[in-house]
Amino acid sequence: MLSNNEQLIAVIGATGQQGGAVVRALQAGSQFKVCALTRNPDKHRQLADEVVKADLNRPGTLKAAFERAHGVFLVTNNWEEGTDELKQAAAAVRAAKDAGVKHFVWSTLPDVEAISGGKFHVPHFTGKAKIDRIVKEAGFPHHTFVIAPFYYQNLMGALAPQKQADGSFGWAVPFDPDVRCIHMGDVRELGHIVAGAFAHPGEPGNGEYLPLVGDFMSFHEIVDTLNRQGHKFSVKQVPKEAFAALFPGAAEVADMFRYFQAHTYLGSDLSDRIALANKIGGRQPTNFSTWARMNFPA
């Protein structure tokens, strides 16, 4: 039997936000060797102990990538054009099973279709939830689900403040900004939970759901927090049709926000699972105010 620091964890998405967080947390824990998987290994030679080429759209590459791996972390990226998350995840699960992987960690999201009775159409949530059954039924000795929150980082990236028609700088959102409904967090902290699950599979390794939640806020509370730190941002509600015209994919994002308003991001009260995730991750995740002070300079 290999000791933990000889065991290898293969990380899909290692060059991205979620997978990158997993690589860094595993390295900081120094309990496992880390194999970073990417379609462009030559660009990322220093990323981990091993850097191996893998493409979720080319299942043949996954076989070699998962060889010798004790654990696999999988995230799929629906935003990349041409991505079929179900097909990619099924191929990864099959390859991991064939390679004898012992612990499979899948980054999932709530089933919006089921939670809302079909009212909201958010394929990048529901599509991930549909993959859970494939992971469960594969029969790995251990499997764990992690749920990434609404990244704080979105507010400086894809959903950064914009100049508004009234001349102010801020956000036009397709839902009621006064409703507290967004489970949020610093995506870099997802890694602690995933690394904790690999290190101590007993409790979370039987199909537990581990959500990372650093804060739970309304959009108004987000803006108020930033403005207390010296910003002068605005937020106002706009019709979903107006929001949907703002950028490619905005119609799905509008439905996602409207689902948050009706059901919250997580869709139900998962406080016991949040507490378990914090225990497995070994820390209380950073709240928005603290994160913003460090990362969102006025």
Ligand X SMILES: NC(=O)c1ccc[n+]([C@@H]2O[C@H](COP(=O)([O-])OP(=O)(O)OC[C@H]3O[C@@H](n4cnc5c(N)ncnc54)[C@H](OP(=O)(O)O)[C@@H]3O)[C@@H](O)[C@H]2O)c1
Query: Nearer to ligand X by C-beta: 67 or 203?
Result: 67
Q: Report, in Å, the least distance between residue 1 CB and ligand X.
A: 30
Query: Nearer to ligand X by C-beta: 77 or 295?
Result: 77
Give DSSP secondary structure letters for 88-139: HHHHHHHHHHHTT-SEEEEEE---HHHHTTT----HHHHHHHTTHHHHHHTT
Q: Report, in Å, the least distance between residue 207 CB and ligand X.
A: 19
CA dist 245 → 238, 240, 249, 250 (Å): 11, 9, 9, 7
Continuous segment of H or E residues that includes residue 194: helix 190-199
Angle at 201 between CA 198 and CA 205, to 5 degrees: 105
Q: Parallel, antiparallel, or unpaired: how do β-strands 169-173 and 162-163 relate?
A: antiparallel
Measure the CA–CA gap between 28 and 101, rounded to whole angstroms.
22
Q: Report, in Å, the least distance between residue 80 CB and ligand X.
A: 5
- Encoding tokens for residue 155? 């507010």
Q: Report, in Å, the least distance between residue 131 CB and ligand X.
A: 11
Residues that bind ligand X (CB under 6 A): 12-19, 38-40, 54-57, 75-80, 109, 124, 148, 150-151, 154
Query: Nearer to ligand X by C-beta: 111 or 203?
Result: 111
Query: Nearer to ligand X by C-beta: 95 or 223?
Result: 95
When CB distances to ligand X are compared, the closest residue is: 16
Q: Report, in Å, the least distance between residue 263 CB and ligand X.
A: 16
Query: Nearer to ligand X by C-beta: 80 or 178?
Result: 80
